[in-house]
Amino acid sequence: MLRTTLAGLRMHKARLVTTALAIALGVMFVSGTLVFSDTLKAGFSTKMMGSADDFAAVAVPEADEGAPADPEAPLPSLPAGALEKVRDLPEVAAAGGMTRGDAPLLDKDGRSVGAMPTIGMSLGDGTRFQPTEGALPDGSGEVALATTSADATGYGVGDTVTVLDSEGDRHEFTVSGLVDFGVDGELAYRGVVAFDEDTARAMTGAEGYSEIDAAAAEGVTDAEVVGAVEDAVGPGADVETGTAYGEQLAKNAGADTQVLTVGLMLFALISVFVAAIVIYNTFAILVAQRQREMALLRCVGSARGQVFRSVLTEALVVGLIASALGIAAGVAAGWAGFAFGGEALGADTSQPLVVGVLPVVVGMTVGTVMALGAALLPAWRATRVPPLAALRTSATAQGLEKGIGWVRITIGAVLFLISGGIVFVATNVGVGATGMILTTVAGLICFVGVVVLSPLLVRAVVAAVSPVMRRVGVASMLAADNSRRSPKRAATAMIALTVGATLITGYAVVNASLKTTMDEMLAEQFPADYLVSAPMDEPDAVVPQESVDALEESDATGTVIEQRQTYTGGDEATGDLPVSTYIGGTLGGDLKNDAVSGALSGMGPGKVAVSEGYAGDREAGDMLPVATEDGVKEYEIAAVLEDGGTLWGATLAPEDFEKAFPSIEGSSEILVNGAEGASAQQVRDAVYDAVADAPTVGVSSMAEMKAQFDDVLNIAFLAIAAMLGLAIIIAVFGIANTMALSVLERTRESAMLRALGLARGQLRRMLSIEAVVLCLIGAGVGILLGVVFGWAAGTSAMPSMVFTLPVAQIAVFIGVAVAAGLLASVLPGRKAAGQSITGALASE
């Protein structure tokens, strides 16, 4: 029986090529993800250990994780004399220290880089960071920049840069080198300007050390150095070996890798699921077409168990070979992913590729189990073939069309009702993670219902478009008849495409809706062309009055609204209450916010608008206590506002705010709108000219913020669409496989059509139209499901989401479906058209 099975595999190997490709692609994604993840982790370790492992001990200030955050508190540091004590230790051969503070770097336009000040740090030969380009600073006139700072500003080695000291005075330096600070999130976000130690202290005002690195003397162990350094530095320090410190840094950096790996594995599972559908479809059709062969085996003495094992053996052989190919392709994909993405994620790309046992074992297991699992039902069906079937004159796939009736309709309808009920609950009750989980469950149940009813869907859709197809031509008419004749086989093939279309459309709907929602939220929260804000790291900082005056006097600016704010007390319901006022703008006009109770139009002296989170159980008309500089005063609530809008906390009329907090004189934020008729460039120039002498003042543009947000969403969408595209590629293989097997099944029929006068081109068009119709039905069902569940997922996670239908992207998906159908029909069409008429008629 084994020889017979292997002989059958050799005879039918062409039929199993696309099945093997589907398995290989699924395994490639799984094993490739594991190889990429392992190599990325090793890259982090190499990068961190390459610097930290050179030192026997690393000392850093002890972190008090339980202490409340205090933005005005200085950063913890090691004592200023600690470095000299460590250097004097007999166990230490050499030691270096790093100081740290704020040192804002100005860009080429003279503005402070980033929302937070650049970190000023001292670097010397005894520290663990070394330049990737150029050299470390030598003397008071040189600095080294973080590679992230250089990328953000365009500065390079040899350029002159301007840095502000702790008093805000400007100093010019020459860039001596660039330093890659690895995977430290804060250093990467804020950027670094590195000085020699004396210059760093003068620029930042820092007194102690943020880190001390010590190398062991000859013959001294790392543990001995750690103990000696602990004694020298004293309490308030965490001291560990350089190896342990580097491992912890690499572990912290690898946390993001875990999230990325989980995301990639989810897409890998989708690809595996689609591949399983293709495999099941292939074996189901093969078994149905080989009824005579199976019956003949039964006639010559094969038992049902032998037939069952024969089909599973075929699946096993195909699964093993395809899995091995998939693993090889996965290793290549993992290498490509690390080569192109590792540097962007902060890993050392010189790290050799890591191919462990796990990717190989998981890949082989997934591919083989997937093939065997998908072949179980077709193998069981093969045992049901009666021996008398060997006497039939043809071997068509009759068995696939059983079971289309009221039972199928009832099961599908029940599943749809259950799914609809869960969606109702998710969109009306479940918010956040609960709603997302419920929506996912509803989507899976609905998809099972689609699988159950898919043959009826195919039959109904083809019946609806048949009148039009019959008028187009003979090829189109025959394609309609063929699709209606085998709806279950066609439906099984289209399901794979439906999965991909559902996921991509769903994400496109969420993406487009999120864009629209955020645009509206930005327009409400940022009701101005520009926002000028005081430095974020200085709690009591204000925008200089000279800048405010310049904005108000400029012909290019229209409305200029000053926001003054402080934090005070209220009662148990309000807690620490932010209190604001707006000078130069009208509430309900220039500044809008949806109200839960009352209206902003009722604002005036003696009244207050308060956001819902700070109102407690109060409504419009109630009194709100506010702790002022002269004691607690009560204001009548004119409006209770929705959280998340422009107005946050309590908002007083300007005259009330001035009386309540006379010591608050400056403005924390300025909202600027352009004058009527002024160009965008004129408004921008006016804003930047007004703050030219205040480089640490932040300037934000609503248009730029929206563009940055859109860029992030677009990149995310393209990345996810590319990964889901693999599922669509697998689906195309499945449809091509179905078409190829259908051509084999209809060899005699195609020859008869040719004998009756159907041209080769008409036969190819018939198969192309049949494949396109199949793809359009699968894509149409997937698009419909994607729109519904994309809306449900977005609404359950964000009840205020503004639903947006991405018409252009859906049109692209439909075009892709047509192209997929045409591509899937090319080889089957050529094979059918190239058959000899007399040979095909004589073969049955």
Q: For the segment 607-663, what is each residue's pLDDT rounded down to a tens digit?
A: 999 998 888 888 999 999 888 888 889 999 999 998 877 788 899 999 999 999 999
**Residue at 539 is within a domain:** no
The pLDDT of residue 395 is 45
Higher-confidence position of 699 and 48: 699
Element (H, E) at 179: strand 170-179
Contact 45, 246 (CB under 8 A): yes
- 644, 775: one domain: no
pLDDT at 397: 45
Tell me the C-alpha distance between 79 and 81, whole Å. Answer: 5
Which range marks the domain in which residue 593 is found?
Answer: 544-693
279 assigned to some structural domain? yes
Token pair in block for residue 524: 């409400």
Of 325 and 117, more confident: 325
Last residue of a domain, one of 660, 676, 693: 693
**Same-domain status, 221 and 253:** no
pLDDT at 707: 66
**Res 245: pLDDT:** 84
**DSSP of 230-250:** HHHH-SSEEEE-HHHHHHHHH
Is there a single domain that holds both residue 282 and residue 320?
yes
% pLDDT > 90, the chain: 18
Annotate 242-259 with b (16+ C-beta within 10 A) or e (fewer).
Answer: bbbbbbebbeebbeebee
**pLDDT confidence bin for 399, thresholds 50/70/90:** very low
Question: Taking each helix axis from N to C terminus, what angle separates 487-525 and 433-472, rounded to the nearest 10 degrees?
Answer: 130
pLDDT in tens, 480-518: 777 777 777 677 667 767 877 887 888 888 888 888 887
431: left (phi over 0), alpha (psi -120 to 50) or beta: beta
Residues 263 and 383 in one domain: yes
Name residue 54's amino acid. Answer: D
Q: pLDDT at position 800, please?
A: 74
Element (H, E) at 833: helix 807-833
Q: How far apart are CA 414 and CA 329, in angstroms?
A: 42
Of the candidate ranges 227-231, 255-259, 679-683, 704-708, the one whose mean pLDDT is the lowest: 255-259
Is there a single domain that holds both residue 199 and residue 183? yes
Tell whether the model's pLDDT for residue 115 goes beyond 70: no
Going 610 to 616 to 617 to 622, the CA torsion angle's sign is: negative
| 616 φ, ψ (degrees, to nearest 5) | 70, -130
35-89: per-residue pLDDT in tens? 887 887 777 666 655 567 678 999 998 865 544 444 444 567 888 889 899 999 9
3-class SS at 538? coil
Q: Beta strands of 303-349 (E only): which ranges?
A: none
Is the domain of 264 the same as that of 374? yes
Give the torsion sign (CA, 256, 258, 261, 267): negative
More confident residue, 1 or 761: 761
| Range from 9-18, 25-34, 121-130 carrying the lowest mean pLDDT | 9-18
Residues 181 and 251 in one domain: no
Mean pLDDT for all residues in the chain: 80
Out of 219-228, 365-374, 792-801, 833-842, pick the least confident.
Answer: 833-842
Instruction: Please state, for a pLDDT cut of 70, what percent of the chain lies above it.
Output: 78
Predicted confidence (pLDDT) at residue 538 exceeds the cutoff of 70: no
- Number of neighbours of residue 755 by Cβ within 10 angstroms: 12
The answer on 228 and 135 residing in a single domain is yes
- Domain assignment present for residue 422? The answer is no
- According to DSSP, the residues that pair with 580 across neighbouring strands are 565, 651
Q: Is residue 520 part of a domain?
A: yes
Residue that wins the pLDDT comparison between 294 and 253: 294
Domain match, 678 and 734 both: no
pLDDT at res. 429: 66
Residue 441 pLDDT more than 80?
yes
Structure pTM? Answer: 0.63
pLDDT in tens, 733-776: 767 766 766 676 677 777 887 787 888 888 888 888 888 888 88
pLDDT at 401 > cutoff 60: no
Q: What is the C-alpha to C-alpha distance for residues 174 and 538, in angstroms, rounded to an integer?
A: 28
The H or E element that residue 251 is part of is helix 242-289
Residue 656: the pLDDT is 93
Cα-based angle 371, 377, 379 (whole degrees, multiple of 5)? 80
Q: Are 732 and 675 contained in the same domain? A: no
Alpha-carbon Rg of the chain, whole angstroms? 35
* In a domain? residue 562: yes
Is the pLDDT assigned to residue 442 strictly greater than 50?
Answer: yes
Sign of the torsion formed by the C-alpha atoms of 63, 65, 67 and 69? positive
Nearest alpha-carbon partner for 20 in 315, 365, 364: 315
* Residue 561 counted as domain residue: yes
* pLDDT tens by residue, 226-254: 999 999 998 888 999 988 887 777 666 65
| Residues 6+ positions from 318 with CB-CB distance below 8 Å | 9, 16, 19, 20, 23, 371
Residues 34 and 127 reside in one and the same domain:
no
In sequence order, what are the beta bridge partners of 597? 640
Q: For residue 550, what is the enclosing H or E element?
A: helix 545-553
pLDDT grade for 22, boundaries at 50, 70 and 90: confident
Count of the separate structural domains present in the chain: 4
Place of tokens 């998710």: 426
Q: At a CB cut-off of 8 Å and minimum separation 6, what does 625 contact?
A: 570, 571, 574, 632, 633, 634
Q: How confident is the model at residue 779 (pLDDT cuts 50, 70, 90)?
A: confident
Encoded tokens for 630: 């002269």
Which residue, 675, 693, 711, sits at the end of a domain?
693
> Are 77 and 206 within 8 A, CB to CB?
yes
Domain-terminating residue out of 674, 693, 712: 693
426 within a domain of the structure (yes/no): no
The answer to whether the CB of 22 falls within 8 A of the CB of 278 is yes
In a domain, 436, yes or no: no
CB within 8 Å of 257: residues ≥ 6 apart: 37, 40, 41, 44, 345
Let me know whether 96 and 212 are in one domain: yes
